[in-house]
Chains A and B, each alone.
Chain A
Amino acid sequence: MLIELRDLHFKWPGNPRDTLCIPQFSLSAEEKLFLHGPSGSGKSTLLALLAGIQTPDSGQLAVLGQDLAKLSAPQRDHFRANHLGYVFQQFNLLPYLSVRQNVLLGCQFSKLRRQRAAGLAGSPEKQALALLAQLELGDLADRPARALSVGQQQRVAVARALIGAPELLIADEPTSALDEARRDAFVSLLFACAEQQRTAVVLVSHDPRLAEGFDRSLNLSELNTASQVDHV
């Protein structure tokens, strides 16, 4: 299992009640999971836990068999650098770097991912260019990131999240700034790249229409018993 979650409880400081309470959840390697749910269902909180930014108050959270709660904060940062790619809703890029430099940022903090990128394409540089070509951005590699359209920027973010073949890619509402036609194209490109290097995908969105093409679709409000309390 890539991710194993059991009896997980999490509460933000100052909050009287649990934000997240998940009895069981797991994700297998290379699985593509669509996670949807209305706002307030705990999406951001779950992602922060999976990314190792936060740790659960109780219960078990294992990624790649590693209990994240047992790692120190710097170790979790290192773990994230090695095994996780992250795509934000928007503003994914450092505007003052070139597209290529933004992609290489994905393995800046991880020797492991630089090695894997070298193993896959010869060098991190080459993999960055290969990914950009695959995402139909081949001729933009040396443009400054700020010159790109929103849709192009989101694809650069995918390249950055996938460089060095991490085991897991997390995308937090990556298509909310795109129109419908480009949304579908974006998701299919994302899948193509992820499948090629066997990266599992967890895509979070409040828009259930995106669910097509995923191995599994989950409603977070059903998974998270803490949010069910709200609905009663």
Chain B
Amino acid sequence: MFEIALRSLRSRRLTVVLTIATIALATLMLLGVDRVRNETRTSFANTVSGTDLIVGARTGSIQLLLYSVFRVGNATNNIDWHSYEKLAKDPRVAWTIPVSLGDSHHGYPVLGTSHDYFRYLRYGDDQPLKMQSGHEFSHLHDVVLGANIARRLHYQLGQKLVLTHGSGDGALTEHADQPFTVTGILAPTGTPVDDTLHISLDGLTAIHQGWESGSASLLATTGALSADQDRAVPPPDSITAFYVGLKSRTGLFGVQRAINQFRGEPLMAILPGVALSELWQLLKVAEQALQVLSWFVLLVGLLGMMTALLVGLNERRREMAILRSVGARPWQLFALVVGETACLLVGGIAIGGALLQGALAIAGPLLRDHMTLLITPGWPTASEWLLMGCTLLAGLVVSIVPAWRAYRLSLSDGLHVAA
């Protein structure tokens, strides 16, 4: 019986191949969306780890998260350097990482910070930042590049680059008088760090000396400031935000309250994990829409398969009558149709899974470069096995329709089929 089914399928090669292709593509879509969704969520949740609080000027928690972690949008206000110093000295605070944003380079954000950034920042599963080559900034005009920037702009150690004042499309004025030297390149992290240029706070202050009015003064344009690599620079007036690590997490809410009620200026402290999940809730709509869409694609694929099977059935009434004449029972014809469909489904799902691996192998580097998403080919995850199982099950349920029709036809036709 199994051989009959296989040979019968082979004799309908074109329909069979098209049906398998439909199922394979639907499976690819379903698995692909699931994979991207999960990896996105994981990489999202992995952006910050080990940081207890993020502090910025009072605004919405999601907005603070967006500009301080994802470098999206701008801060409404800065934090006064004295406020930062005061809060950083709180006995419950173990470490702080000051973050100063605003400049850019070819559209990539420039981040002024201290050495504590490299020492304390964690991502993923409590991973520290690692240097791929070179070392941290040590001079005023040193820059440490995120992995993506080095790769995409083909920068190497020792190369000079010029930062742009401001960010976004309108940023045209360059700090051409004070070029920076690449001293280090970070290993890839799959977080916004990969897309960031890191310089010291002093370096940031240095290039803005003489820019107090918002554009370059004569002092800045004459190049008078550019010469000295290690000249003394006053501390910055302000920073954009700072990350806080506590000595003990039990003091978390106390410190948060203290910052929120800080007398010097209106500040706000957020728990990055909480803010991340709030942000994810917002993005979930798109994610769910994509998921629903992929289920619909599967439905369309299965309906297409059912159509092909039903249409094929009319041409196969002769075949059914012959099998009946040699003693096949109607339920055996039912099983024949379900069995054939199972072959189509298993074939289609397997090909779909293989296509996904192929697609990831090809698209993986693109996703990494353009979306900072690390998705690598790999054996299907539990949820993917479940999805493939669901596809198979749904397909078998759908196959009951043509199988039942084969059953009914074989009963009503008996041995008598008009040729």
What residues of chain A have their CB less than 8 Å away from a CB belonging to chain B? 44, 47-48, 51, 53-54, 73-74, 77-78, 80-82, 86, 88-97, 101, 105-106, 108-110, 160, 172
> In the complex, which residues of chain A have a beta carbon less than 8 angstroms from the beta carbon of B92?
none
> A96 near B415 (CB under 8 angstroms)?
no
Q: B319 interface residue, CB < 8 Å from A?
A: yes
> B10 near A96 (CB under 8 angstroms)?
yes
30 contacts between A and B (CB under 8 A): A48-B415, A48-B416, A51-B415, A53-B414, A54-B414, A73-B329, A74-B331, A77-B324, A77-B328, A77-B329, A78-B329, A80-B325, A81-B326, A81-B328, A86-B325, A86-B415, A88-B321, A88-B325, A89-B419, A91-B318, A91-B419, A94-B7, A94-B8, A94-B322, A94-B323, A95-B11, A96-B8, A108-B327, A108-B328, A172-B415
> In the complex, which residues of chain B have a beta carbon less than 8 angstroms from the beta carbon of A108?
1, 326-328
> A74 near B4 (CB under 8 angstroms)?
no
In B324-339, the 8 Å CB interface with A consists of 324-332
How many of B's residues come within 8 Å of A, CB to CB?
Answer: 25
B328, chain A: closest CB distance, angstroms = 6
> A47 near B415 (CB under 8 angstroms)?
yes
> A74 near B329 (CB under 8 angstroms)?
yes
> In the complex, which residues of chain A have a beta carbon less than 8 angstroms from the beta carbon of B331?
74
> A106 near B322 (CB under 8 angstroms)?
no
> A53 near B324 (CB under 8 angstroms)?
yes
Query: How many Å lie between the Cα of A86 and that of B330 in the bound state?
Result: 17
Closest to B318 in A: A91
> A105 near B414 (CB under 8 angstroms)?
no
Closest to B332 in A: A109
> A97 near B415 (CB under 8 angstroms)?
no
Given contacts A91-B318, A94-B319, A96-B7, contact A105 B326 (CB under 8 A): yes
A162, chain B: closest CB distance, angstroms = 12
Query: How many Å lie between the Cα of A190 and that of B243 in the bound state?
Result: 95
Closest to B321 in A: A88
Query: How many Å lie between the Cα of A81 and that of B331 in the bound state?
Result: 15
What residues of chain B have their CB less than 8 Å away from a CB belonging to chain A? 1, 3-4, 7-8, 10-11, 318-319, 321-332, 414-416, 419
Most A-side CB within 10 Å, residue of B329, B331, B419: B329
Given contacts A51-B415, A86-B415, A88-B415, contact A94 B4 (CB under 8 A): yes
Closest to B3 in A: A101
> B322 near A93 (CB under 8 angstroms)?
yes
B302, chain A: closest CB distance, angstroms = 25
Closest to A81 in B: B327
B8, chain A: closest CB distance, angstroms = 6
Closest to B1 in A: A108
> B11 near A90 (CB under 8 angstroms)?
no
Closest to A51 in B: B415
Closest to A92 in B: B322
Query: How many Å lie between the Cα of A216 and that of B85 in the bound state?
Result: 118
Apart from A53-B415, A81-B326, what 12 extra A-B contacts exist at CB < 8 Å?
Answer: A74-B331, A77-B327, A77-B328, A78-B329, A86-B415, A89-B419, A91-B419, A97-B4, A105-B322, A109-B326, A109-B327, A109-B332
Query: How many Å lie between the Cα of A138 and that of B272 in the bound state?
Result: 82
> In the complex, which residues of chain B have a beta carbon less than 8 angstroms from the beta carbon of A74?
329, 331
Given contacts A48-B415, A53-B415, A95-B11, contact A88 B322 (CB under 8 A): yes
Given contacts A51-B415, A53-B415, contact A96 B11 (CB under 8 A): yes
Query: How many Å lie between the Cα of A106 and that of B327 in the bound state?
Result: 8
Query: How many Å lie between the Cα of A172 and that of B325 in the bound state?
Result: 12
B54, chain A: closest CB distance, angstroms = 68
| Cβ-closest 6 pairs across A and B | A81-B327, A96-B11, A109-B327, A53-B414, A86-B325, A77-B329
B334, chain A: closest CB distance, angstroms = 12
> In the complex, which residues of chain B have a beta carbon less than 8 angstroms from the beta carbon of A94?
4, 7-8, 319, 322-323
> In the complex, which residues of chain A have a beta carbon less than 8 angstroms from the beta carbon of B414?
48, 51, 53-54
> In the complex, which residues of chain B have a beta carbon less than 8 angstroms from the beta carbon of A82?
327
> B7 near A97 (CB under 8 angstroms)?
yes
Closest to B10 in A: A96
> In the complex, which residues of chain A have a beta carbon less than 8 angstroms from the beta carbon of B4?
94, 97
> A106 near B11 (CB under 8 angstroms)?
no
Closest to A87 in B: B325
Set B10, B328, B415, B416: member contacting A109, Cβ < 8 A: B328
B113, chain A: closest CB distance, angstroms = 71
A14, chain B: closest CB distance, angstroms = 12
Most A-side CB within 10 Å, residue of B4, B7, B327, B332: B327
> In the complex, which residues of chain A have a beta carbon less than 8 angstroms from the beta carbon of B328?
77, 81, 108-109
> In the complex, which residues of chain A have a beta carbon less than 8 angstroms from the beta carbon of B7?
94, 96-97, 101
B419, chain A: closest CB distance, angstroms = 6
